[in-house]
Structure 1
């Protein structure tokens, strides 16, 4: 009497051991960060490649690999981009290739998907989830194929299309240095890159500036006159890529080459353009490149002139010190503290800029 029961237990334990399918995704796509692949408008038509591997058995039907703007865990809708349909005897590994253009076109194929979009007509950011879905196992022993689907894909990759260029930045302040200009650019997001280009303004003596031109280090060069110059701003020089080309309005009559181009990650302080000639006026312009690679419109152009540093006194004035002499200028208190602060700033700037 016990044998059938033992046989039933053996059968049940064997059946419960059946494992449903899982799909593992991987990609070496450029721009993949934290499982999000960000695609700029310029790469909308470029195919993205993902590899996949399947383990476990497919339960009574098909396993779907697809991309959707919705959540994973169902059978693909008409508006989703269906990439692979696998059966119980299907492949256990492979690749899928698709572009944002393919994803946008698929959205127009269903009644609820809205009008079909293209790389040019899609004007807002949109994200797509890469999914794998299959029927769930259920029943008394967890071996019966159900009619409902579940998400069986991991990790959760997202393809984000970002066609929107960042707003044009502003050049808020330019601080003259010895053979350099320190440029404060406002309007950059934390994950973007700031680009500043400088071109000499044509004049009768352009290119022949003297080392002692301009006895007042700040005269006429502070774009935000009347505000604290903030001489303690980080002055780490960016990468100098001279001759890379003019940005927008710099390419107009009245400027001469070569062009100095400096890039720097947002949030790392002022952009310092080095290798300039003292006494020569330069026209400056900035742009922003966001994490997707979209570039902003150009900032308004400003002009400034690098000057030879006269040493500690110029640094003291940059820190807000008075030009007059007397006890207040050299003694203790606020003025004395400004001198000490300026000394440290001057030494730092001499190390970093000169």
Structure 2
């Protein structure tokens, strides 16, 4: 009658042997899929991570460190050791480190290669924030295991992205009434498109004339304007707009949301445009080739028809093209429609 009880005791012991310390990490930085992306401009900026630990470990410390290798081992010389936690230490705390510190630590062993810096590390590299300890094991869960295990979660990664996005191009500019609609090509996913505009400087006058052909394509396809306009005033030369007079208007839009529309411009004045891309890490591309364009006044559909060579013709014989003829045809269409509904 005691055998089932002994079996139950052994089962419980096995369960105890599987328990051990855990360290829960949280990040004060914005993380996507547990990944914190750092641009080159923030390589030396310290990142803050909080931790909370639960459970017991062996007499060894719980090590908190950063590595390019795998978590679950004792920190190597090429890893950046952040803290070691003994049983008497607090159960929560904070660690801070920068990408530049991790890059420097990589030269700490013979086989780790030469330590790099924020300037010399020109390719993307990822680091793991780890916690490792020796767990309790054995049949009763009271023996220290010989090897270290990964006790940290979730698997936080710090990705250093020093590469700026490719330089974009302004593929098309559509002239509008007091506005320019700019199509920018070359933006990668999850990036932001930035377009800046400033008046082209002219000798003795702020009016650059009515050069409607300067970089515009009024009839070039469909203009898709998604999202909202986010215009603001900056300083002349923010994107090295040569030969312009301020202020500079800067408009941003997420990639894939259509053309960037710069509004509040003066009709008949030529503006110089330049585009850049800001990637998800915050890296900024080089500026596109600069393009000149001029917003034009919209006179309405009929005025545009006349400007394109159309004529207003009167009389009954002109029912196909004049205003009166158009009105007659419209009225006839309404009458026929009403007749069909009645019948």
TM-score range (shorter-chain normalised) is 0.7 to 0.9
Q: Write the distance in 2 (CA, Å) between the matches of 1:83 and 1:169.
A: 40
1:142 CA displacement: 4.1
- Superimposed CA distance per residue, residues 3-34 of structure 1 (whole angstroms, 9 cap, x where no aligned partner): 9x9899869857954631000011212x3223
1:246 and 2:215 equivalent? Answer: no
Residue 39 of structure 1 aligns with which residue?
38
1:249 CA displacement: 3.3
Q: Write the distance in 2 (CA, Å) between the matches of 1:131 and 1:150.
A: 10
1:156 and 2:155 equivalent? Answer: yes
**2:14 and 2:139 in contact (8 A); partners too:** no
**2:57 and 2:136 in contact (8 A); partners too:** no
**1:237 and 1:273 in contact (8 A); partners too:** no
User: Over the residues paired in the alignment, what is the CA RMSD in angstroms?
Assistant: 3.2
1:273 and 2:262 equivalent? Answer: yes
- Superimposed CA distance per residue, residues 265-302 of structure 1 (whole angstroms, 9 cap, x where no aligned partner): 11110001111110011110111111111111111101
- Superimposed CA distance per residue, residues 139-165 of structure 1 (whole angstroms, 9 cap, x where no aligned partner): 334442211221110111111111111
Residue 113 of structure 2 aligns with which residue?
114
The equivalences for 1:124-135 within 5 A come to: 124-135=123-134
- Superimposed CA distance per residue, residues 219-272 of structure 1 (whole angstroms, 9 cap, x where no aligned partner): 5245579xx71224226552111234433330x3x3111211111111110001
Q: Write the distance in 2 (CA, Å) between the matches of 1:150 and 1:87.
A: 16
Residue 342 of structure 1 aligns with which residue?
none
Residue 351 of structure 1 aligns with which residue?
none
Tell me the secondary structure at the aligned position of residue 82 of structure 2. strand
**1:236 and 1:272 in contact (8 A); partners too:** no
Q: Write the distance in 2 (CA, Å) between the matches of 1:246 and 1:316.
A: 40
1:287 and 2:276 equivalent? Answer: yes
The equivalences for 1:142-291 within 5 A come to: 142-204=141-203, 206-208=205-207, 219-222=212-215, 229-234=220-225, 238-250=229-241, 252=242, 254-291=243-280
* TM-score, length-scaled by structure 2: 0.81
Q: Write the distance in 1 (CA, Å) between the matches of 2:309 and 2:24.
A: 69
Tell me the secondary structure at the aligned position of residue 240 of structure 2. helix
| TM-aligned CA distance change 1:6 to 1:195, over 3 Å | closer
1:315 CA displacement: 8.1
Give the unaligned 5+ runs of structure 2.
322-343
Residue 24 of structure 1 aligns with which residue?
24
1:207 CA displacement: 3.5
Q: Write the distance in 1 (CA, Å) between the matches of 2:207 and 2:124.
A: 50
- After superposing on structure 2, the runs of 4+ consecutive aligned residues of structure 1 that deviate more than 4 Å are 5-16, 221-225, 313-317, 322-327
* TM-score, length-scaled by structure 1: 0.78
**2:131 and 2:151 in contact (8 A); partners too:** yes
**1:172 and 1:224 in contact (8 A); partners too:** no
Q: Write the distance in 1 (CA, Å) between the matches of 2:51 and 2:58.
A: 19
- Superimposed CA distance per residue, residues 288-323 of structure 1 (whole angstroms, 9 cap, x where no aligned partner): 111111111111101010000122368889xxxx86
Give the unaligned 5+ runs of structure 1.
331-354
Tell me the secondary structure at the aligned position of residue 182 of structure 2. strand
| TM-aligned CA distance change 1:310 to 1:135, over 3 Å | same
